[in-house]
């Protein structure tokens, strides 16, 4: 939308039978920037990530990537397009094929998309290893010989192998020790700067998202309830859910205990009106009957809450 | 890899000796005297004593054991009491049939099991999957002698496609051999193929849920490669385990089938030898079976190591 966005998602929804996992999600990411999706488990973040890559077929909505609608692409064209969009998963123990050496793991994506000659591919594999600070000797070893952080670095190297324009990272550091997390996150930022990659970054960890992302979308029960530039979201959160999330982050002063009560409701039975009303400290009559619309509140920040109407009217 | 191989070879020895010691003891502790049986009702006590002395049966049991061990080491297993010819000559005559029967049965079982399991997993919860699962349960529950009789009735008696019983060695021509071995092998292999179908189905379903399968798809690999190269190689592991167990079962459990189809195999020979208290022949037969089993297990371990690099390095 603004500038030239490489990825633009509009009205994306996914239902698994009665379960509405993702509802009417829209966002766009400018080239070279990072968009973060935060939310509790079950908020539809991961499904959104898979929808964007069309690993899961969307029920409705469009995914405009490099000027084409991925949702409409035929299987063959979609496969070819995958060269430009790669993924990093949460579980570094599961996302690498245990039967493939690091060399095979790094060469395979290039092979699939017919990039370079065999010696080019090997050179690329060596360069990628160096970029993620692993020794050349790692090429002939297998995933089980590495630690979690090292495996995730291999997964990152693999994601970069086809020099993609978009990387979707689904909780890439949640399975790692905190000390290793910082290392991997720094690496991801360095590589992004160097390659100019655009990133969709998914995490439930607010500090990680703050560190990584330029723009943030807060998800609740399959919807984006607030989105905007990082500093606006963290500095002046407009939606009660965002406020509660920030307040409940650990290390935010012991006087202010978690304000979020209970569990996220089941996606089988989404509450009427505003989905968040069952846990919202400010809920009133209108929230039960009427679904709040997304409202622009300036500075690129948008939120969906009836309180914003009230504030405006007052 | 060589060290691994050597270690596996050493581990074979106890695998062979434990069943041998058990058989040696069981035979000698069970009632019935081979000398008396060989000479018939008319024999005098002196005649029996003389024969016992000749066969070494009047020696203390540990002396008999030492003689017998010496026989194994020098590859001289003595003469069969009944056939009056060296055991080392009798065994190969019968073992060939049993091994061929087991190999053909195993091949049929793997072919049927892997194919049906794969079809089933790829069509999960569709009618074809339910049909295969039902057939597999039926296959596991059917007694093989009943299935053998059913096969004979349908294909040999009614349709006359195959002979009812008897055996042609492979030297008599592939078609002649195939005609006599197919029905017994199918009857013998049906339960194993049902087991493998279920194994293949469930391990395939497990593997398809692995993140690295999603990664492979996300990289843009064609579905045939994802299934063939990634999923099947991993899913094959439990099936190979079952195949190994099956091989043991097929070798030892062929007795009924050999009797029904009148095949001159090791199982039938053993049963008859036990009835005649033909000690040397029984011991030789058990030695042959445990040797084949041990080698078979080794081969399966090696296949493991080839398919899964994690095993090699442990």
User: Which residues of chain A have a CB within 8 Å of the CB of B212?
Assistant: 94-98
What's the mean pLDDT when you consider all of chain A?
88
CA distance A48 to chain B (A): 14
- The residue in chain A having the minimum alpha-carbon distance to the alpha carbon of residue B230 is A97
Q: Radius of gyration (Cα) for chain B, nearest Å?
A: 24
CA distance B14 to chain A (A): 32
Does the model's ipTM exceed the 0.90 cut? no
Q: For residues B49 and B165, state if they share a domain.
A: no
Q: For residues B142 and B166, state if they share a domain.
A: yes
Give me the pLDDT at residue B181, please: 82
Give the pLDDT mean for A44-58: 90
Is the pLDDT at A254 greater than 50? The verdict is no
State which of B87, B108, B128 marks the end of a domain: B87
Q: For residues B195 and B67, state if they share a domain.
A: no
Q: Which residue stretches of A196-297 are H helix?
A: 206-212, 230-235, 240-248, 285-289
- Tell if the CB–CB gap between A145 and B210 is shorter than 8 Å: no
User: Which residues of chain A have a CB within 8 Å of the CB of B230?
Assistant: 97
* CATH code, domain carrying A248: 3.40.50.300
Q: For residues B223 and B193, state if they share a domain.
A: yes
Q: Could you list the residue range(s) of the whole structural domain that residue B251 is in?
A: 91-312
- The residue in chain B having the minimum alpha-carbon distance to the alpha carbon of residue A96 is B212
Give me the pLDDT at residue A224, please: 94
Q: For residues B230 and B261, state if they share a domain.
A: yes
pLDDT averages per 10-residue partition of chain B, 314 residues: 76 79 76 70 78 76 81 78 83 85 89 91 89 90 86 84 80 79 86 90 88 84 83 83 79 80 85 82 82 79 74 57
State which of B87, B109, B143 marks the end of a domain: B87
* CATH code, domain carrying B145: 1.10.3720.10
Give me the pLDDT at residue B275, please: 81
Give me the pLDDT at residue A2, please: 46
Whether residue B3 is contained in a domain is answered as no
Give the pLDDT mean for A258-282: 82
Whether residue B2 is contained in a domain is answered as no
Tally of domains in chain A: 1
User: Which residues of chain B have a CB within 8 Å of the CB of A162?
Assistant: 219
Q: For residues B47 and B114, state if they share a domain.
A: no
Q: For residues B48 and B160, state if they share a domain.
A: no
Q: For residues B169 and B300, state if they share a domain.
A: yes
- Alpha-carbon distance of A200 to A205, in angstroms, equals 15
Task: Give the B window 204-223 contacts with A, CB below 8 Å.
Answer: 210-212, 214-222
Instruction: Say if CB A155 and CB A95 are below 8 A apart.
Output: yes
Q: For residues B211 and B232, state if they share a domain.
A: yes
Q: A40 and chain B: CB distance < 8 Å anywhere?
A: no
Count A/B contacts: CB-CB distance under 8 Å: 66
Nearest to A97 among B212, B220, B307 (CB): B212
Give the pLDDT mean for A104-112: 91
- Alpha-carbon distance of B216 to A111, in angstroms, equals 12
Give me the pLDDT at residue B301, please: 78
Residues contacting B12, CB < 8 A, separation 6+? B294, B295, B297, B298
- What pairs with residue A35 in β-bridges? A200, A215
CA distance B304 to chain A (A): 11
Q: For residues B119 and B73, state if they share a domain.
A: no
Whether residue B299 is contained in a domain is answered as yes
Give me the pLDDT at residue A3, please: 56
Q: For residues B292 and B171, state if they share a domain.
A: yes
Is the pLDDT at A252 greater than 70? The verdict is no
CA distance B299 to chain A (A): 20
**Structure tokens, A81:** 């397009």
Q: For residues B165 and B270, state if they share a domain.
A: yes
- Tell if the CB–CB gap between B215 and A83 is shorter than 8 Å: no
Q: Could you list the residue range(s) of the whole structural domain that residue A238 is in?
A: 5-313
Tally of domains in chain B: 2
State which of B63, B87, B111 marks the end of a domain: B87
User: Which residues of chain B have a CB within 8 Å of the CB of A109?
Assistant: 219-220
């Amino acid at each position: 939308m603004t500038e030239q966005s490489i990825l633009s998602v509009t009205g994306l929804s996914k239902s698994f039978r009665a379960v509405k996992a993702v509802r009417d999600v829209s966002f766009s990411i400018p080239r070279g920037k990072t968009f973060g999706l935060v939310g509790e488990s079950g908020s539809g973040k991961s499904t959104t990530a898979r929808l964007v890559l069309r690993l899961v077929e969307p029920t409705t909505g469009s995914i405009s990537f490099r000027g084409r609608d991925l949702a409409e692409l035929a299987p063959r064209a979609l496969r070819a397009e995958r060269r430009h969009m790669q993924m990093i998963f949460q579980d570094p123990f599961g996302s690498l094929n245990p039967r493939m050496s690091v060399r095979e793991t790094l060469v395979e994506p290039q092979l699939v998309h017919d990039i370079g000659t065999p010696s080019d591919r090997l050179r690329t594999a060596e360069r990628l290893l160096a970029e993620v600070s692993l020794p050349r000797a790692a090429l002939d070893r297998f995933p089980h010989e590495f630690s979690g952080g090292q495996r995730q670095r291999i997964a990152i190297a693999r994601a970069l192998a086809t020099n993609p324009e978009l990387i979707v990272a689904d909780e890439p550091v949640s399975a790692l020790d905190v000390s290793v997390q910082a290392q991997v996150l720094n690496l991801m930022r360095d590589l992004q700067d160097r390659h100019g990659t655009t990133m969709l970054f998914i995490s439930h960890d607010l500090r990680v998202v703050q560190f990584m992302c330029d723009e943030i979308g807060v998800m609740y029960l399959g919807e984006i309830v607030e989105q905007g530039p990082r500093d606006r979201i963290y500095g002046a959160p407009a939606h009660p859910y965002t406020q509660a999330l920030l307040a409940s982050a650990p290390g935010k002063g012991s006087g202010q205990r978690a304000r979020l009560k209970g569990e996220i409701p089941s996606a089988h039975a989404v509450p009427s009106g505003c989905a968040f009303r069952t846990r919202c400290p400010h809920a009133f009559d209108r929230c039960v009957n009427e679904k709040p619309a997304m409202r622009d509140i300036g500075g690129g920040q948008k939120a969906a809450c009836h309180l914003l109407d009230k504030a405006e009217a007052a | 890899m060589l060290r691994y191989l050597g270690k596996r070879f050493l581990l074979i020895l106890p695998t062979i000796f434990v069943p041998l010691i058990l058989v040696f003891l069981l035979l000698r502790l069970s009632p019935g005297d081979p000398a008396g049986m060989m000479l018939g009702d008319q024999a005098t006590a002196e005649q029996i004593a003389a024969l016992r002395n000749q066969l070494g049966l009047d020696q203390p049991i540990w002396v008999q054991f030492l003689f017998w061990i010496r026989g194994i080491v020098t590859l001289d297993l003595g003469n069969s009491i009944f056939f009056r010819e060296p055991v080392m000559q009798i065994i190969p005559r019968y073992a060939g049939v049993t091994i061929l029967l087991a190999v053909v049965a195993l091949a049929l079982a793997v072919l049927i099991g892997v194919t049906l399991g794969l079809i089933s997993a790829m069509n999960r919860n569709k009618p074809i999957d339910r049909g295969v699962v039902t057939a597999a349960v039926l296959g596991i529950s059917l007694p093989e002698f009943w299935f053998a009789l059913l096969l004979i009735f349908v294909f040999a008696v009614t349709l006359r496609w195959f002979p009812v019983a008897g055996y042609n060695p492979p030297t008599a021509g592939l078609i002649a051999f195939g005609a006599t071995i197919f029905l017994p092998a199918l009857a013998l292999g049906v339960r194993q193929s049902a087991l493998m179908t279920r194994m293949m189905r469930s391990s395939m379903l497990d593997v398809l849920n692995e993140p690295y399968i999603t990664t492979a798809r996300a990289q843009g690999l064609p579905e045939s490669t994802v299934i063939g190269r990634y999923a099947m190689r991993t899913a094959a592991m439990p099936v190979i385990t079952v195949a190994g167990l099956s091989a043991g079962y097929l070798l030892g459990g062929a007795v009924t089938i050999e009797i029904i189809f009148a095949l001159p195999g090791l199982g039938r020979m053993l049963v008859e030898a036990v009835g005649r208290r033909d000690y040397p022949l029984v011991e030789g037969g058990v030695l042959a079976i445990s040797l084949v089993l041990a080698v078979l297990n080794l081969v399966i371990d090696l296949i493991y190591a080839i398919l899964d690099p994690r095993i090699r390095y442990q």
